[in-house]
Amino acid sequence: MTSIIWYIREFLRPAWISRFLTAKTEPLVTPPYFRDFPVTTENECTQCLACMMICPAPEAIVVVKRGGIWRPEITKGHCIRCGLCVEACPEDVLASGQILAIKKEEKLLISGTYHISINPKTCMGCGNCSVVCPVNREIDPSLRSSGTSRSNEVIMRVDTGQTKVFHEEKCTGCKTCEEHCPNNAIRVARVVEATEGGSHDDIHPHFRKDDPAGILCRA
Amino acid sequence: MKKTVDISLPVGPVHPLFKEPCRIKCETRGEYVLSAEVELGYVKKGIERIMRGRPWQEVMFLAERVCGICSVIHNYTFIEAVEKISGITPPERAAYLRVIVNELDRMQSHLLANYSYCYTIEHETLAMYILNLRETVMDQLELITGARITCSYIVPGGVRWDLPDEKEESLRVALDHIDSELRRFVRIFETGPFIALRSKGIGILTKEAAEAAHAVGPTARASGISVDCRSDHPTYQALGFTPVVRQEGDNYARIMARFEEVFQSTNLIRAALSRMKPGSVRGGGVIRAGAIQYRAEAPRGELLYDLVTDEYGRILEIAIQTPSIMNTQVCAHEMLTDAESAADITSIFISSDPCIACTER
């Protein structure tokens, strides 16, 4: 009996009745703060590859040259919408939800150092890593498809049947080599730090446009 | 005399009342359940193997994807574990923000558990009310972190971004709304005679049995065991946390314990909001080599991360122990055994809030 009285009281509440009579499903709108797939802004990409370095999903973001300009391209099926690439991009090329605005306001920063390790037991010297490396291609465009080169300025190249690392400090951590290694022999350790209140110019020589040491940003 | 036949009664793996696939095999005599066994293995992901050899910025997202319902606590525990290895202390404001997001996640998880219990005992009205209230919590999570489920809000050295004043105000309004609405729902639950018929005295787990089987989380706390890893956490200690403990040990107590914990979570969030001072939310710091066992309180109980990192901060070895494995086993061997009716099997099982995706990983 008490439950019947309870139900009568519950359904005679003015709030319930008005809701029942005027109930209308609100249209689905994406709120502005929703962290959606990153989109590119008007800013110019400098191919620093910070977005590829930080991306946790395999091959979700790739920096490609289309019509003479570098642009980051996102594969929606692979992207997990974490928004880290938006935080990592020093040129504010990417935007997602409110992350870009928050990043500018709070001066969010992601910086890193990179270490290449090659397992000599599993490396068979195929040279895939040296060929696909975007920094290698910038430094020595004449790098052969076998991964061999005459230049000692490249990050790594095949030397006497083994891949050898020459300039670890030039690595941008984009992990393209990792993804193209058939044996998982090459690994790029990305020691990443998330800070705030800093500037991208202090942290990595590759991000400096005016610095001659900046290899990729010589636009 | 009527002959009674022993029947092996399978429930699941596909069952309309289960959130995730799992199979309960019951030996019954008529309606009486003689014994029960939970069979897992339908959603194994092998996620710990995928995590190996990866840096924190990848493992953090994999850890979140261990469980879809309680993703924040996995992120929280993993990051605090690697922070403990590397000696990183987050700024005070970031520590409180972590608690806020974690408690919001706990609220939505408890509300979902209670929704599915009410749905199981066929009180759909209350179930839908609770599910609707859960949306308020999810909206607040989305407002703060930008995503509803996989928030990825906690990073080593702090949190992703700050909580501005206007969002804080919206959070306070939502908390008041949740408190007032949930008080009404709890009254419905407490005073409903049909709910009491299907909940009180059903699926009893005694304190001794819970201790012997190492039950954790609200399942243990509803049986009178005061066990909560949040009591050992410095931020929660600063907020004056004390666990919710009930003595009855039946379905009713487990659901009421979760309702009380939702109220407790709103109070914890309010306390954290009032104690927060403006300041930095990201202290920075890189992950170093080391090994650790770190435990924290997930919505379902104790969650343990056992991990080893190398000098570049990559995860070499990782093992995750999730709370549901203890709770599903204690449910099968103590709560379901000697259940009076086969109709209570699902409600008893759901009242222990099993999370199969967590358990199998």
The nearest CA of chain B is from the CA of A160 a distance in Å of 28
Confidence of residue A210 (pLDDT cuts 50, 70, 90): very low
Give chain A as a 3 state SS string.
Answer: CHHHHHHHHHHCCHHHHHHHHHCCCCCCCCCCCCCCCCEECCCCCCCCCHHHHHCCCCCCEEEEEECCEEEEEECCCCCCCCCHHHHHCCCCCEECCCHHHHHHHHCEEEEEEEEEEECCCCCCCCCHHHHHCHHHHHHCCCCCCCCCCCCCCCCEEEECCEEEECCHHHCCCCCHHHHHCCCCCEEEEEEEEEEECCCHHHCCHHHCCCCCCCCCCCC
How far apart are the C-alpha atoms of B154 and B270, rounded to whole Å? Answer: 20
Mutate to test the interface with B, among A114, A117, A190, A199 (most CBs of B within 10 A): A190
Mutate to test the interface with A, among B57, B82, B197 (most CBs of A within 10 A): B57
Structure confidence at residue A216 (pLDDT): 44
In B, minimum Cα distance to A11 occurs at B125
Instruction: Give B158's contacts in chain A (Cβ within 8 Å).
Output: 194, 196
Contact A195 B284 (CB under 8 A): yes
Contact A192 B160 (CB under 8 A): no
Confidence of residue A215 (pLDDT cuts 50, 70, 90): very low
* Residue position matching structure tokens 């900046």: A214
Mean pLDDT of chain A: 81
Give B217-283 as a 3 state SS string.
Answer: HHHHHCCCCCCCHHHHCHHHHHCCCCCCCCCCCCHHHHHHHHHHHHHHHHHHHHHHHHHCCCCCCEE
Instruction: Give yes or no for B284 touching A (CB within 8 A).
Output: yes
Name residues of chain B where pLDDT drops below 50: 1
Contact A99 B161 (CB under 8 A): yes
Structure confidence at residue B5 (pLDDT): 60
In this structure, of A50-59, A119-128, A144-153, B36-45, the range with the lowest mean pLDDT score is A144-153
Structure confidence at residue B158 (pLDDT): 87
The nearest CA of chain B is from the CA of A142 a distance in Å of 33
How far apart are the C-alpha atoms of B44 and B208, rounded to whole Å? Answer: 32
In B, minimum Cα distance to A58 occurs at B58
Paired tokens of B316? 């070499």
Structure confidence at residue B8 (pLDDT): 81
The nearest CA of chain A is from the CA of B208 a distance in Å of 36
The 10s digit of each residue's pLDDT in A81-95 is 888 888 888 888 888
Structure confidence at residue B99 (pLDDT): 92
Instruction: Give yes or no for A178 touching B (CB within 8 A).
Output: no
The nearest CA of chain A is from the CA of B336 a distance in Å of 29
Confidence of residue A211 (pLDDT cuts 50, 70, 90): very low
Structure confidence at residue A66 (pLDDT): 86
Residue A127 has pLDDT above 80, yes or no: yes
Contact A192 B56 (CB under 8 A): yes
Mutate to test the interface with A, among B180, B312, B315, B316 (most CBs of A within 10 A): B312
Q: Closest CB to B147: pick one of A54, A81, A115.
A: A81
How far apart are the C-alpha atoms of B27 and B10, rounded to whole Å? Answer: 9
Instruction: Give yes or no for B147 touching A (CB within 8 A).
Output: yes
Spatial CB neighbours of B14, under 8 Å, sequence gap ≥ 6:
B21
Q: Is the peptide bond before B13 cis (omega within 30 degrees of 0)?
A: yes
Contact B282 A97 (CB under 8 A): no
Q: Which amino acid is at B290?
A: G
In A, minimum Cα distance to B192 occurs at A3
How far apart are the C-alpha atoms of A140 and A143, rounded to whole Å? Answer: 6
Instruction: Give A197's contacts in chain B (Cβ within 8 Å).
Output: 280
Please answer whether residues A27 and A196 qualify as being in contact, where contact means their C-beta atoms are separated by less than 8 angstroms. Answer: no
Instruction: Give yes or no for B162 touching A (CB within 8 A).
Output: yes
Q: Closest CB to A187: pick one of B53, B146, B193.
A: B53
**A198 exposed, middle or buried (CB, 10 Å; 0-12, 13-18, 19+)?**
middle
Alpha helices per DSSP H over B87-206: 92-120, 124-145, 165-191, 193-199
How many beta-carbon contacts under 8 Å exist across A and B? 91
* Residue position matching structure tokens 């086969």: B342
The nearest CA of chain B is from the CA of A175 a distance in Å of 12
Paired tokens of B183? 């008080």
Residue A65 has pLDDT above 70, yes or no: yes
Q: What are the C-alpha distances in Å from B329 to residues B24, B205, B347?
A: 11, 12, 15
- Which range, A146-160, A195-209, B89-103, has the best average confidence (pLDDT)? B89-103
Beta strand B6-11 with A156-159: parallel, antiparallel or unpaired?
Answer: unpaired
How far apart are the C-alpha atoms of A57 and A68, rounded to whole Å? Answer: 27
How far apart are the C-alpha atoms of A173 and A79, rounded to whole Å? Answer: 18
Structure confidence at residue B2 (pLDDT): 53
- Which range, A6-10, A98-102, B2-6, B242-246, has the best average confidence (pLDDT)? B242-246
For A199-217, b/e burial (b = at least 16 CB within 10 A) is ebeebbebbbeeeeebbbb
